[in-house]
Chain A
C-alpha cells in the first residue's frame, strides 16, 4: 500500500484482523492518528469482531456425521450474529457520540508522534492509580517540568500518563480539578498522551451506576495494566506516581 492510495474498508478489516504487513500497519496507524472518523470506524469494526467472537463462543463445531444438523446450527448461529449485529448497529446509531476522542494507541510504542529511531529518545510510561495524587495535581507540575526541560535542551522525550483505578479521577469530566491545565498541557506538548483504562471506566459505571465521561484530550486503552506491561517490554521506563 502506498501513501497516495486511499485507505479502503478492506485495509481497515485487515488491520482489525491482524492480517496485515508490518509496514502497512505502521502507515495505517499514522493515518488513524490524524483522522478521528477513520479511527472511530476501526473501533467500531473491532467491536463487531468481538461481538462475533462472543456469539461463536458457545457454538459447538458441527459433527461430520450430522451434516444436516450442523447446517441448521450454522444457519442458527449466523442468524444470531446477524441479529446481534443489527441490534448493536442500531444502538450505535442512537448512542450519544462517545464522550472522548478514541485513538488507537499504536502497538509499536511511538505515541502520537512517529518515533524516530535515529535519535536517542527518552520514553516514560507513568502510572497514576492513587486518588490522592489525582487530587493534588502535583504530577502535572512534574510532567511539565520534565517536558519543558527536554524541549529547551532539544532532547526527544515521550510520556504517557496512564490513569487507572482511583487515579482515573484526574481525567474525568466533572471530577478533575485540572481540566484546563490538562487541555493546556496536551495542546502544548504533542509528545504527551493522557491514557485512561477502559476496565476502570467500566467498573465505575457498573458499581456506581453512572456514565463516565472523560476529558476530551484523553485516549482509552482496554487495560491500563497490560498497556503498561507492553510499554515496559518495549523499553519504556516505568514510574509509579
Chain B
C-alpha cells in the first residue's frame, strides 16, 4: 500500500512538474507557418526578427515553425553574387543574413522553397541559394501554405 501511494504521488509530482514546464512560456505548443513572397531586404530582416522573437516567447521546444518562400521571397536565400544569372532582381543572402538564417535553423526553423519559382526564375537551388537541399523544396509555395493551414498551422505574413 505504501509503495502504491509513493508511486502515485511521484507520478502526480512528475505530471505537475511537466505541466509547470509547459505553462512556463504561457503558450503551450504552437504550429506556425510564416509566408514570405516579397524581396525588400528590410522587410525580410524584420520577418527574421519576428521569428526570433516568436521563438523567444514560446520556446523552441514548443514551436513547430516553417517559413514558406515563393516568388520574389526566394531572394532571402539568393546569394548576392549569383542573383544576376537568375530572373530575380535581388539577392539578399548577405553574410549577415546567412548567419541569421542559420541561427534560426539551429533552433528548428524549416525554410521551404517553391519549385515553381525555381523553374520560373531560373534558379538552381544547389548553386544559387544558401544552404538549401532537396528536402527543403516543395512543389508549390501556395499549395504548401494551404496544406499546412489544413493541418492546423497558423498563417502569419510578417
Contact = CB atoms under 8 A, between A and B. Distances in A.
B116 A239 contact: no
A76 to B, nearest CB: 53
A146 B145 contact: no
Contact of B155 (A122, A142, A235, A238): A238
B58 interface: no
Given A122-B146, A122-B147, A141-B120, A239 B71 contact: no
Interface in B89-135: 116, 120
Contacts, number: 48
B139 interface: yes
Interface residues of A, number: 19
Contacts of A157: 143
A237 B155 contact: yes
A237 B70 contact: no
Contacts of B71: 138, 142
B139 A239 contact: no
B116 A145 contact: yes
Interface in A29-65: none
A149 B139 contact: yes
Interface in A59-74: none
A238 B149 contact: yes
B115 to A, nearest CB: 9
Contacts of A237: 145-147, 149-150, 155
A124 B147 CA distance: 10
Interface residues of B, number: 19
A235 B120 CA distance: 30
Contact of B143 (A122, A138, A241): A122
Interface string A200-236: 0000000000000000000000000000000000010
Nearest to A155: B143
A124 B146 contact: yes
A122 B157 CA distance: 20
A229 to B, nearest CB: 13
Contacts of B140: 142, 145-146, 149
B66 interface: no
Contacts of B157: 240
Contacts of A145: 116, 120, 140, 142
A189 interface: no
Given A142-B116, A239-B142, A240-B157, 6 more contacts: A124-B146, A235-B150, A237-B147, A237-B149, A237-B150, A239-B145
Interface of A: 122-124, 126, 138, 141-143, 145-146, 149-150, 157, 235, 237-241
17 contacts: A122-B143, A122-B147, A124-B142, A124-B145, A124-B146, A126-B142, A138-B71, A142-B141, A149-B139, A237-B145, A237-B146, A237-B149, A237-B155, A238-B155, A239-B145, A239-B155, A241-B37
Interface of B: 35, 37, 70-72, 116, 120, 139-143, 145-147, 149-150, 155, 157
The 10 closest A-B pairs by CB, nearest first: A237-B146, A237-B149, A145-B116, A240-B157, A124-B146, A146-B142, A122-B146, A146-B140, A239-B145, A146-B143
